[in-house]
């Protein structure tokens, strides 16, 4: 059974960096078929895909246009996890953040497992 366990602070000050981690059990961050995503949800912006990391002989990242200049998603193979860093946050970045798995370019190209969600509030 796949489990995604999120961790990270729930409060971040404006202009600082939001950092979250998603620990994977039951699969590998280095899987040659899975992709590891970050998605957020807020009342004002709804569900918003932020980006993903995946391994296909080498590491790739795809980022949403809306956050491309501020986001980094990194795999950590030693701990079998991946992380999200979002720089220069504003109150608009206040949301519940989820990590999720999918299998792009396959018949299972949907988010099948999700983390528990982390409410991150941007406030001084």
For 42, residues 6+ apart whose C-beta sits below 8 A from its C-beta are: 48, 94, 95, 96
d(CA 101, CA 70): 22
d(CA 107, CA 117): 26
Asked whether position 114 contacts another protein by CB under 8 A, the answer is: yes
Residue 85 three-state SS:
strand
Asked whether position 110 contacts another protein by CB under 8 A, the answer is: yes
Asked whether position 65 contacts another protein by CB under 8 A, the answer is: yes
* Contacts with another protein, 11-50, as mask; x by CB under 8 A: --------------------------x-x-----xxxxx-
Which of 46, 58 has the CB closer to another protein? 46
Give the length of the chain: 124
Which of 27, 61, 62, 80 lies at the binding interface for another protein (CB under 8 A)?
A: 62
For 104, residues 6+ apart whose C-beta sits below 8 A from its C-beta are: 35, 54
Give the number of residues in contact with another protein, rule: CB under 8 A. 24
Q: How far is the CB of 120 from another protein (least distance, A)?
A: 15
Which of 8, 117 has the CB closer to another protein? 117
Asked whether position 75 contacts another protein by CB under 8 A, the answer is: no
What residues pair up with 20 in beta bridges, in sequence order? 84
Name the DSSP letter for residue 91: G
d(CA 109, CA 106): 5
Q: Interface with another protein by CB under 8 A: which residues?
A: 37, 39, 45-49, 51, 62-65, 98, 100, 107-112, 114-117
């Amino acid at each position: 059974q796949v489990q995604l366990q999120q961790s990270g602070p729930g409060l971040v000050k404006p202009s600082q960096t939001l950092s979250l981690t998603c620990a994977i059990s039951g699969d590998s961050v280095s899987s040659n078929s899975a992709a590891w995503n970050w998605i957020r949800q807020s009342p004002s912006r709804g569900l918003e895909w932020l980006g993903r990391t995946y391994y296909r002989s080498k590491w790739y990242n795809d980022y949403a246009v809306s956050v491309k200049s501020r986001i980094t998603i990194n795999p950590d193979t030693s701990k079998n996890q991946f992380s999200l860093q979002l720089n220069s946050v504003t109150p608009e970045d206040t949301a519940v953040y989820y990590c999720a798995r999918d299998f792009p370019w396959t018949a299972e190209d949907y988010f099948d497992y999700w983390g528990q969600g982390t409410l991150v509030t941007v406030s001084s």
